[in-house]
Structure 1
Amino acid sequence: MVQIIVRKFLEVFIFMLFITFVSFLFIRLAPGDPVLTILNVDELSVSQEQVEMWREEMGFNKPLLVQYGYWLLNFVQLDFGQSYVTGQPVIEMILTGLPATVELTIGSMIVMLAVSIPLGSLSALYRDSWIDQASRILSIIGAAIPSFWLGLIFIDLISVRFSWLPTMGRDGLPSLILPSLTLGLAISSVYVRLLRSSLLDSLGQEFIRSARARGLSDKRIFLVHAFRHSLPPVITVFGVSLGSLIGGVVVIEVLFAYPGIGKLVVDAIRQRDYPLIQGYILIMSAVVFIVNTCVDLSYRYLNPEMKLKETESNR
């Protein structure tokens, strides 16, 4: 376990160094000038001397590597800089919007689990029945519908026509239901099919037949043995698709005007607010890395064979 943790720390150092450099470079090479955006040149008469003065004050006249070096030095000191638009510290702005994004992510995951676990399990237990056919059809339809289009349908039907739930803002549980439902249903189709496939594979294993021969009940066999054995592939895909989930959160936050960091970064991209974009990329990269690390560590407990192999290799 100590070797795994040390290796992970080394990986995160290399990973974060790579991410900081690539994201810093690509953001600076993107079209648009943050100085012109800040000065609102479309509304104000600004001379070229003023533009150059601002560019020098913000350090844009220095080479990219020098700019990156200054930024990296501040980052090591946990200083993400200040927003070009609002002047607030980037870390404060991100921490302000983070709770809303976490709420939406958790709500979406609850919807996804509430849909995918029953449908995937029933589809595997009653293979080739009408339940299985209906589950597969629904999962195909869900995979084909973009999340933003599904959200527009919900807004039109549930909010506009019947006025059951609010369409925007963050005002308690009612405002969380529609965004969570939209994103949760959009991603659940993948996990329904994956859980079904993994359960069918587990139910055909030799240890399941041995458990039945020992007289264990079908409920115990399914919950304790088959379901647990089917989880590693599902968790693996979740770790890999976490980036897509974060991207989906960004789209849904913009669609429902939900005040999370997704909507915050979309506004930052439009306004060329480099420090805020950079801070968002770093924090989301760290979240993805941490989740994938937790996924790797969870294999030892979900898959006893892997834990046994580690024990034998350490002898």
Structure 2
Amino acid sequence: MVQILARKFFEVLFFTLFITFVSFLFVRLAPGDPVLTILNVDELSVSQEQVEALREEMGFNKPLLVQYGLWLLKFIQLDFGNSYVTGQPVMDMILMGLPSTIELAVGSLIVMLVVSIPLGSLSALNRNSWIDHMSRILSIIGAAIPSFWLGLIFIDLFGVRFNLLPTMGRDGFVSLILPSLTLGLAISSVYVRLLRSSLLDSLSQEFIRAARARGLSERRIFVVHAFRHSLPPVITVFGVSLGSLIGGVVVIEVLFAYPGIGKLVVDAIRQRDYPLIQGYILIMAIIIFIVNTCVDLSYRYLNPEMKLKEKGTN
């Protein structure tokens, strides 16, 4: 375990340096000039001297590597800088919007689990039955429908026609229902099919037949042995698709005007707010890295074969 944690530490160090440089480079090379955005050139008459003075004040006249070095020194001190638009500290703005995004992500994951676990399990236990065919058809339909289009349908149906649920803003649990349903249903189709195939593979293993030979009940065999054995592939895909989930959260936040960091960063991209964009990229990258690390460590507890292999190599 100590070796694993030490290796992860160096991976974090390399990953942080890499992602800071790449994010800084890509943001700086993106089209648009934040100086012109700040000065509102389209609305005000601004001289070239004023533009150059502000560019020098913000450090944009220095070489790109020098700008990156100065920014990295602040980052090491956990200083992400201030927003070009609002003047507020970037970390404060991210921490202000992060709870809303976490609420939406957790709500979507709950919907995904409620949908995918029963459907995937029933489909595997009733292979080639009408339940299996129906769940596969629903999975294909769910994978084919874009999340934003599904969200527009929910807005029109539950918000406009029947006026049952709010479609904009964040006002308690009720305003979380439609965004969570939209994103949760959109991502559940992948996990229904994955859990089905993984369960079918687990149910065909020798240890399942041995458990039946010992007289264990089918419920215990399924829950304790087959279901646990089928989880590592599902968790692996979840770690890989976490970036897609975060991207989906951004789309849903904009669609439902949900005040999270996804909507915040979309506005920042539109306004060329470099510090806020870089802060968002780094925070999301670190979260994805931490989740993937937890996924790697969870294998040792979900898959006993890995423990045996580690003991055999020691």
Query: In which range does the TM-score fall when normalised by the shorter chain?
Result: over 0.9
Structure 1 residues 44-64: Cα deviation after superposition (integer angstroms, max 9, x where no partner) = 000000000000000000000
Number of the residue aligned with 1:289: 289
Query: 1 CA distance for matches of 2:34 and 2:134?
Result: 52
Deviation at 1:208?
Answer: 0.3
Runs of 4+ in 1 over 2 A off after TM superposition: none
SS in 2 for 1:249: helix
Query: 1 CA distance for matches of 2:292 and 2:313?
Result: 23
Give yes or no for the alignment of 1:308 onto 2:294. Answer: no
Give yes or no for the alignment of 1:195 onto 2:195. Answer: yes
Query: 2 CA distance for matches of 1:173 and 1:222?
Result: 34
Number of the residue aligned with 1:11: 11
Query: 2 CA distance for matches of 1:237 and 1:138?
Result: 20
SS in 2 for 1:220: helix
Number of the residue aligned with 1:160: 160
Number of the residue aligned with 1:219: 219
How high is the TM-score relative to the length of structure 2?
1.00
Number of the residue aligned with 1:35: 35
Query: 2 CA distance for matches of 1:110 and 1:26?
Result: 34
SS in 1 for 2:253: helix
Amino acid at match of 1:165: L
Number of the residue aligned with 1:104: 104
Number of the residue aligned with 2:250: 250
Query: 2 CA distance for matches of 1:21 and 1:13?
Result: 13
Query: 1 CA distance for matches of 2:175 and 2:215?
Result: 49
Query: 2 CA distance for matches of 1:65 and 1:204?
Result: 57
Query: 1 CA distance for matches of 2:211 and 2:33?
Result: 66
Structure 1 residues 246-296: Cα deviation after superposition (integer angstroms, max 9, x where no partner) = 000000000000000000000000000000000000000000000000000
SS in 2 for 1:219: helix
Structure 1 residues 82-117: Cα deviation after superposition (integer angstroms, max 9, x where no partner) = 000000000000000000000000000000000000
Query: 1 CA distance for matches of 2:215 and 2:20?
Result: 57
Query: 2 CA distance for matches of 1:76 and 1:150?
Result: 42
Alignment of 1:6-155 (within 5 A): 6-155=6-155
Query: 2 CA distance for matches of 1:191 and 1:16?
Result: 30
Which runs of 5 or more structure 2 residues have no equivalent in the other structure? none
SS in 2 for 1:44: coil
Amino acid at match of 1:184: G
Amino acid at match of 2:289: F
Query: 2 CA distance for matches of 1:108 and 1:77?
Result: 34
SS in 1 for 2:87: coil
Deviation at 1:307?
Answer: 1.0
Amino acid at match of 1:127: R
Query: 2 CA distance for matches of 1:106 and 1:44?
Result: 44
Number of the residue aligned with 2:260: 260
CA RMSD in angstroms comes to 0.4
SS in 2 for 1:184: helix
How high is the TM-score relative to the length of structure 1?
0.99
Query: 2 CA distance for matches of 1:34 and 1:82?
Result: 13
Query: 1 CA distance for matches of 2:250 and 2:9?
Result: 29
Q: How many residues align?
A: 314
Query: 1 CA distance for matches of 2:38 and 2:310?
Result: 56
Amino acid at match of 2:128: D
Deviation at 1:313?
Answer: 1.5
Deviation at 1:308?
Answer: 1.4
Amino acid at match of 2:270: R
Amino acid at match of 2:297: L
Query: 2 CA distance for matches of 1:65 and 1:264?
Result: 27
Deviation at 1:312?
Answer: 2.1
Query: 2 CA distance for matches of 1:94 and 1:288?
Result: 16
Query: 1 CA distance for matches of 2:100 and 2:291?
Result: 19
SS in 1 for 2:259: coil
